Structure 1
Amino acid sequence: MALLLAGIAGCSGSPGRGDRTVPSAPPVRLVAYDGCDKLHEELQRATADKVGPFGLDDTPALPADGIRALGKAPSAAKAPGAAPEHSTTNSHEPGADEPDQVKTDGRRIVTVADGRLRVIDPATRKVTHTLELPGGHRSGDGELLLSGDRALVLSRSARMVPFDRPAPGQRPLPSPQQTMRLTLVDLSGAPKVAGSMTSGTDYLDARQSGSTVRVVVHSRPRIYFPGGNGRKKSVAANRDAVWEAPLDAWLPAFQLDGGQSFRTPCDQVSRPSSYAGSSMLTVLTFDLAKGLGDPRPVAVTADGSTVYGNGKSLYVTGTPPQLFTWPRKKTPESHTDVYKFDVSGKGRPRYVAAGSVKGFLLNQYSMSEHDGNLRMATTTSQVEPDDRSSQSSVYVLAQQGGSLKEIGRLDGLGKGERIHSVRFIGPTAYVVTFRQTDPLYVVDLKDPRRPRLTGELKINGYSAYLHPTADGRLLGVGQDADASGRTSGLQVSLFDVSGEPRRIGSYTLPGTTSQVEFDPHAFLYWPKTGLTVVPVRQRDGGTPEALALKVTGTGITMAGTVRNPSETPGTGVTRSLVVGDTLWTFSDDGARAVDASTLKDGDRLPYD
């Protein structure tokens, strides 16, 4: 292990360290359309430019399992009287809850699994209610948000549907389409469906503040491409189909179970100034206290993939379509576009600014808003296999009018490596890169115009998720590795970052992996006692179980394990939470309750 400290300044337009300069990304701002006719024309033109002999070149592949869970969990509204102390879903920001598979308000636990919603009474340790959810899916899981006596279940599925408007003389052919379903459940008594909404869109993510929920979806035009004999004729026929398609082919419908349908008004659609997109990124708004109704959509003609929110601002990022255009004359430089929405009110969000940075984001933890500025951490590399010219950067963007403009930047982190985890805490960024060793970089952002690298700690392995602890330490969950970079099993590390970064504790479990490495919602940290729970499983298979650790200000010790007995091979613990003095663990087959301090006296609650 080597410790390297530096005090190297970085600023906009200049490299922060080393001799490699990363040029700034092209500026991006938002442009409104002059009415529906102009919107329709530009969507047709953008789509026609991308059409190939088989339709759109960027059509995404279907999810492997045909149905996938959504989102990430809100704090429930408080009922009269004090509920037991309880943990909440591990969300990025305290002001923006994220959907998850399990929710609790301390008085009840609500879960979604196998197409059913279940309510558990933590006091009696009984499953009190089970509700079959609409949609006909009994495989895969949805996720939910909880607000008082209302739960919103979000689920999506891929199915084959016929096109509505085939070309003259052509028979409608089935086409893969994502379908999103929102189901509002009334929990005031026995659970019952209070409303539902469906849409032929692909769900990205959601955030909740109070009873207000923002749902972000992505859609592609619904156009039948007839093709033809030979490439030239096929492209020409497909372009003709684009020019004949109505505006509704691009504006998705959001339909209530009663039949009422909503689409985005033309004056609520914008586009990036740098290009015209053929797909649609839409933000929906609901007040769970009022039920499902007009989703008040706002849209951008762009792609989107990562969502970050803090309750006041909502950011959605995407990769410009030309980055993946084939064939191409030269390898393009990667960059990420980011769109900012003002969600400080309860009504329709306002699309306020856009920007762009070089490189790719890892996930939402690569973004953070602080003092009105957006910080982003990206890895820059060519879009080619085995490329080793990568390096990572930390950017600071400030809103100036309708643009998010770079005001500070630090380059040169982890040359030849890529980012494996990021955590912004106040005016400091912690960035982990990895190829053979794990440099933990500490970046001082107190002066947003001059980010400074103040520390670098090199250890074997890497952290895939970073979490602050009650003692001001930093906890990392990832993989141990040898000197060549070959990973060997779960590694949980405790870092002292009060001065020079150093590792003061670790726990390894050879031959295992954890869901936390790619899904932070699987992580539980209970500050009151230092109880930390992560699901683990053997690399060669086996049933996942909950590994319980005791984390203090000086080290990490093993507290024990909890296994949920299961009749289904391969299923095991995926989530955990604390209610009062009880640790609850959850799998697809049921829940288990044990004493949080001893991990004993367990009760098994199988799902029927």
Structure 2
Amino acid sequence: MKKLRWLSGTLSALMITAAAFLIFPPDSYATDVSNTSNSVSPPSTEPLPVIGTEEKLRQLLQKANEQQQAFGRDVMVFEQAVPAPTAKNAVPAMAEQRDYSATNVQVQGVDEGDVIKTDGTYLYQASGEKVVITRAYPATDMKVVKTLRFDGGNFMPSELYVDDSHLVVIGTSSTRTIPSKKASATEIAQPYYSPTVHAYVYDIRDKAHIAKVRELELDGSYVSSRKIGSSLYLVSSKYLNYYPFAERNQPMEMPVYRDSKQSEEYQSISLKDTRYFPDRVEPSYLLIGAVNLDANKEMKVSSYLGSGENVYASTDHLYVTLTQWEMQATIQPTVKMAGNSFFRVMPPSDQKSSIYKFALKADAVSYQGKGEVPGTILNQFSLDEHNGYLRIATTNGDLFRNDEHTSKNNIYVLDEKLAITGKLEGIAPGEKIYSARFMGDRAYMVTFKKVDPLFVIDLKQPKTPKILGALKIPGYSDYLHPYDENHVIGFGKDTIEAMDSKRNFAWYQGMKIALFDVTDVTHPVEQFKEIIGDRGTDSELLQDHRALLFSREKNLLAFPVTVMTLKPQDKEQNTASTDFPAYGEFSFQGAYVYSLDLKNGFHLRKKITHLSPDAAQKAGANWYDSNDNIQRILYIGDALYTVSPNKIKAFNLTTLTQQGELDLAK
């Protein structure tokens, strides 16, 4: 049985840190940074040069290594990109007439993979090393109709896509690789395991005869994917082992891919088909695969010497971003103190984000150009394409500094060629972005330090973005979701300020949900709020927007949550001066189901758990089977479903009385 134990984290995970708090004058929330902005490279729409030969690749990597070492660090690449978990109203990905919920996605018409999908009758669920297909409707007669297992036990499904014809199962497998050549006669070539993105495509038109029709493989670690209509786009990053190749003259292992529709053999991507970004060389390959699932054509793969962190897609373009950190190695870090805690403040760094733009076709992608903005990009919701412009929210500077290098937040507007055409810089000095959301001609941005400023930003004139208003309240929002054009829902944490005036941070507390009224954009207000649990309460929604179920038409809001509750004496301690606010004890894991309207605000209709009374009691002692954790909530027709790896429960959508239950652990 898989177990989960609640443990105390390190101090860095226990407090929300920040620089000295600044009070902004009411007419100015931004500072003039015209003389301090990072210099960025001009945009480029020129075709990228081809690497061509191993000697050219060796030269590029050597140059990159020298440049990185000049700034005090070796070449480094992270194969696994930070998700999601993340620029418009989050809406169902498929515009179906049937009354059922779809994945909460960022852009209408651009589907995102998730662990659970439905087509209005069946549930498709990635669970451990298998995919379970359940006939979920009607709710009173649920039944598992198919369990998909994968050969070799070397594949872990992580995301699914479903349409009328296909089920796509995406995950990662590991390949055991033996170097093709020893470095010397005395050295033994050590095998290593390299990750591969693997996608299985099934024909699901006949549920009685679900059949695998295609396998796709893309070298490297999974970064992200999108599906638009019948077109699937996969993004991976393959680490390039620089040192054996550059210093020992070992041959380079080239990236490969496979599409079983054409051949069972792996196809190698040659250096003649691999391009590089002249001003930014990374020791990894960025691979983008595109395939039309309805066409009998091979997956087309584009290969670039580079890597990616965040992926944003509109219906027309795919954007991949990468952060550049450049530090002065000659300046030593300083040690500072926050209360009883010490931390190192690094030398000033020049932070930039590169943005690579690709045009999306039905079965291919094509490079369009590169842009650059100062600062770092939080996640996919910090980017948005609107009326031909790309809007980006960034944070630059250092949060722990209180000089001219302190953190600042910015909005940039880029034209079709990725040139900066408008900017708003220096917002909320000393804070950093916790969430951003673009909605039409507006942007909503939450920064945080001790309180949560919600900024309303006007983007109607792309060349002159401006702040319309701001609201300061305790806590912060990790995710912003549109309710309508004048109201935004925030999901995050409540906070309390450290009582010691020398401390420049706040302690996070329970989960907070809030409805913001921005009808008067100059004076946004927190119309309603709800605090769930105490310190330690958490929800997958705060890291992954796909965990949210919301329907304004059905007056329905639901999400999974793990609730921690303080004892009365500890609750009193947390409101008094204390060095370390207490964590709550486990009290609940499951789904909170709310109604939400503009008159009554949040109303908790039901708490649903998959834990048995015995398991709940064990959970109170810090142990329980995490496969009972509710992952997603969705609806089909008049039924609401809660889904965990071990169980599916169904409830009447109107009364929330239970209609059915299916045990998946048998």
Question: Same fold by TM (over 0.5)?
Answer: yes
Matched, 1:187 2:216: no
RMSD: 3.4
Q: CA deviation at 1:593?
A: 1.0
Distance 2:168 2:289 in 1: 14
1:265-280 to 2 correspondences below 5 Å: 269-280=274-285
Deviations 1:129-174 (A, max 9, x none): 2333325448965211112121111101456643233324232213
Q: CA deviation at 1:580?
A: 1.0
Q: What corresponds to 1:232 in structure 2?
A: none
> Would the alpha carbon gap of residues 385 and 161 (structure 1) be closer, same or farther in structure 2, given more than 3 Å must change?
farther
Q: What corresponds to 2:342 in structure 1?
A: none
The one-letter code of the counterpart of 2:107 is E
Distance 1:165 1:383 in 2: 47
Q: What corresponds to 1:530 in structure 2?
A: 555
Matched, 1:498 2:519: yes
Percent of aligned pairs with the same residue?
Answer: 24
1:154-303 to 2 correspondences below 5 Å: 154-157=170-173, 161-169=177-185, 170-189=187-206, 190-221=209-240, 225=244, 239-241=246-248, 243-246=249-252, 249-254=253-258, 256=260, 259-264=264-269, 269-290=274-295, 294-303=298-307
Q: What corresponds to 1:476 in structure 2?
A: 490
Q: CA deviation at 1:306?
A: 0.5
Matched, 1:58 2:88: no
Contact 2:407 2:429 in 1 (8 A): yes
| Runs of 4+, deviation exceeding 6 Å | 2-5, 61-64, 68-74, 324-330, 383-388
> Would the alpha carbon gap of residues 289 and 163 (structure 1) be closer, same or farther in structure 2, given more than 3 Å must change?
same
User: May I ask how many residue pairs the two structures share in their alignment?
Assistant: 572
> Would the alpha carbon gap of residues 256 and 158 (structure 1) be closer, same or farther in structure 2, given more than 3 Å must change?
same
Distance 1:245 1:471 in 2: 57
Distance 1:210 1:525 in 2: 23
Q: What corresponds to 2:652 in structure 1?
A: 595
Q: CA deviation at 1:604?
A: 1.6
Distance 1:506 1:527 in 2: 17
Matched, 1:362 2:378: yes
Deviations 1:315-335 (A, max 9, x none): 110123x64898999643111
Q: What corresponds to 1:585 in structure 2?
A: 642
- Secondary structure of the residue aligned to 1:179 is strand
1:80-479 to 2 correspondences below 5 Å: 83=98, 85-125=99-139, 126-137=142-153, 141-157=157-173, 161-169=177-185, 170-189=187-206, 190-221=209-240, 225=244, 239-241=246-248, 243-246=249-252, 249-254=253-258, 256=260, 259-264=264-269, 269-290=274-295, 294-320=298-324, 323=326, 331-343=348-360, 345-382=361-398, 389-400=406-417, 404-470=418-484, 472-479=486-493
Distance 1:33 1:463 in 2: 39
The unaligned stretches of length 5 or more in structure 2 are 1-21, 333-346, 499-505, 565-584, 616-623
Q: What corresponds to 1:544 in structure 2?
A: 589
Match of 1:519 among 536, 540, 544: 544
Contact 1:421 1:432 in 2 (8 A): yes
- Structure 2 length normalisation: TM-score? 0.78
- Secondary structure of the residue aligned to 2:246 is helix
Distance 1:324 1:91 in 2: 36
Distance 2:472 2:174 in 1: 44
Deviations 1:444-464 (A, max 9, x none): 011110111111100000111
The one-letter code of the counterpart of 1:528 is E
Q: What corresponds to 2:532 in structure 1?
A: 509
> Would the alpha carbon gap of residues 158 and 325 (structure 1) be closer, same or farther in structure 2, given more than 3 Å must change?
farther
The one-letter code of the counterpart of 1:281 is L
Distance 1:165 1:127 in 2: 53
Distance 2:278 2:64 in 1: 18
The one-letter code of the counterpart of 2:420 is E
Q: What corresponds to 1:230 in structure 2?
A: none
Q: CA deviation at 1:265?
A: 6.3
Deviations 1:233-282 (A, max 9, x none): xxxxx6333x4424xx2433336495233344656543323233332212
Contact 2:241 2:283 in 1 (8 A): no
Distance 1:536 1:194 in 2: 38
Q: What corresponds to 2:570 in structure 1?
A: none
> Would the alpha carbon gap of residues 541 and 587 (structure 1) be closer, same or farther in structure 2, given more than 3 Å must change?
same
